[in-house]
A and B are shown apart, each in its own frame.
Chain A
Amino acid sequence: MKHNEQGPMENLLDGISEHAEALTFDQLRDEAAARGIDLNAALATVNELIAARTREERLGWMKVADKRRESLRVAEKEARYHWRSKSPHDIAAAFESFLNSAPPETALAFRNKGTLSTSDMIEILEANERLKRPSGAND
């Protein structure tokens, strides 16, 4: 016998194990019971293990979503208020730049509006930034 070759009893056990494929679950459970194994209890434990893992993965996705939503909120807040710390001169320059770079129909919309206040310009610049943000980012 080479050390890696199986003897007849090992082969017998292997063959019997392989032929278990033809048995029903109830027959397998009876056979396990004869070997001292409580298959129902073991199955309940492993099913709980799988369910717990599935739950964990589901909650894991929720955590990722919550984290992303929070980061978007922060970005939104920053975008909304950062113009308010600028000087009126900077705001006027940014608004001018916005009109120059905006599509013709946007520039046309402001042509006959008279003189806009600084706070009006802030509102418009913030609204423009919100519009440029990807869909859903304002939630």
Chain B
Amino acid sequence: MDPALNAALNQPGWEKTFAMAVLHADTTIRKFIWRGFRPRSTGKNEITVGDKSAADFVQEAVKRLITGKRGYDVGKTLLENLNSITDSLIWSGKKQSDTTGIVDYAQIEDEHGEPSDPIATATSFELTPEEKVKHTELLEDQRRCFRQIRDSFDGDAAMQEYLDALAEGIFKRAEISEVTGLEPTVIDELRRKMIKHARKLFGVSDFEELQRRLKEGGL
């Protein structure tokens, strides 16, 4: 086992790193829902790709690192290493189990010879008219759902500013704080409130279910 990897796995924060990697993997799978992918559910809100859950993907990533099948990049943190591998594995798993008929991408392999996520890595090229229509529809789905969530926080200006920043792709707390004027501690509190209030966001297996739940109970 790589000595740097061994040291990282023996750090006191290993459990938290693993937890964050699992949540990252789960988020990655759920993000594909917004690209038209329909993952399976285990019946407990947990979603799977090709019979593998987020935890399964992270376990596989750890296995590949400790057996040397994937090299440990000492220039990155353990979490970044794990996230990079799970992203590839999830994309590969999704590709194999994909029956949604969403846009078919040419398979791209990373430096380790494994399929990489073209959503994250592809360079821009012209889409066919049919693909453009599909992407426009998917984007409109996202905007509509985001508006519903945002509207549910009417009267809470701080929360709406936080949501707007995230929707614009501003993820770093320091940057959100800079553009919104919100203190980082307030941002943490908003996140907690958002998660607590919008647990259903993570409890759906597809967009239709999310819409239904939004209509039934609101967020």
Contact = CB atoms under 8 A, between A and B. Distances in A.
Contact of B66 (A21, A24, A34, A49): A49
A10 B138 CA distance: 11
B127 interface: yes
Given A29-B19, A54-B1, A9 B142 contact: yes
Interface stretch (B21-29, B89-97, B153-161): B21-29
In this complex, which of A17, A43, A45 has the most chain B Cβ atoms within 10 angstroms of its Cβ?
A: A17
Interface in A23-38: 24-25, 28-29, 31-32, 34-38
B57 to A, nearest CB: 10
Contacts of A100: none
Interface residues of B, number: 70
Interface core residue of A1, A42, A46 (most chain B CB under 10 Å): A46
B26 to A, nearest CB: 5
A49 B199 contact: no
Contacts, number: 160
Contacts of B27: 13-14, 16-17
A17 B26 CA distance: 9
A49 B55 CA distance: 13
Contact of B31 (A4, A10, A39, A43): A10
Interface residues of A, number: 43
Nearest to B123: A4
B120 interface: yes
B9 A15 contact: no
A5 B131 CA distance: 14
A3 B122 contact: yes
B62 A46 contact: yes
Contacts of B168: 8, 11
Given A14-B27, A37-B22, 19 more contacts: A2-B124, A3-B103, A3-B131, A9-B31, A9-B142, A17-B23, A19-B191, A25-B16, A34-B45, A34-B195, A35-B45, A37-B46, A39-B19, A42-B58, A46-B58, A46-B59, A49-B63, A50-B62, A53-B66
Interface of B: 1, 9, 15-16, 18-20, 22-24, 26-27, 30-31, 34-35, 41-42, 44-47, 53-55, 58-59, 62-63, 66-67, 103, 118-124, 127, 131, 135-136, 138-139, 141-143, 145-146, 149, 163, 165-173, 187-188, 191, 194-195, 199, 201-203
